[in-house]
Amino acid sequence: MSTDQQKDERPSANNEAESMTHTGAMALVKKELTDIIKSDPLLCDLPPEITLDEINSQVALEYGQAMVVNVIRADNQVMGVVVTQNATVLDLKHAIKRHFLLHQSRIGGTTVLSWRYIWKRHWLYYDGQRLSENNDKLKEYGIRNKDEVTFVKRLRER
């Protein structure tokens, strides 16, 4: 049998895979990933454009290695931010930044923020306490899973 005859006898699926473009392959993978996420009870509430960090955070939550801190913005919008159990205030700030940037990329926003400016002009408060020391652990302030932290604009100090 010649090699031409062997090529013709290959299944059509291989021919389709060879002729699939990169964009088509990415669309197929995205669709399959979305189906997997929707069918899994642990991952079903995650967006289809999920990142590896978000998957790791969900797994850590499931095993009790992480907690959700609900950050309440000035417009009363609540952001559920995932941090490890032994996270510091700085870790929470990084998680807020990561959450905001992911949200912006998913809605197609291109807002560029100076996070240094944001943290100079705003405080995080929990139960009347200002979270001022970046190296303090959240547990030292009494913050537990699903507690609410408020994002408040600083008043000018004179």
Q: What is the pLDDT of residues 56-99, one digit of tens each?
A: 888 888 888 999 999 998 888 999 999 999 999 999 999 999 98
Q: Which domains does the chain show, CATH number per domain?
A: 3-39 (no CATH), 52-153 (3.10.20.90)
**Token pair listed for 30:** 């995205």
**Token pair listed for 66:** 């992480």
| Residues facing 130 on adjacent strands | 125
- Tell me the C-alpha distance between 62 and 85, whole Å: 12
Determine the 3-state secondary structure of 130 from DSSP.
strand
Longest dimension (CA), the chain: 91
Ranges of the chain whose pLDDT falls below 70: 1-18, 48, 156-158
DSSP labels, 49-96: T--HHHHHHHHHHHTTSEEEEEEEPTTS-EEEEEEETT-BHHHHHHHH
Predicted TM-score (pTM) of the model is 0.72
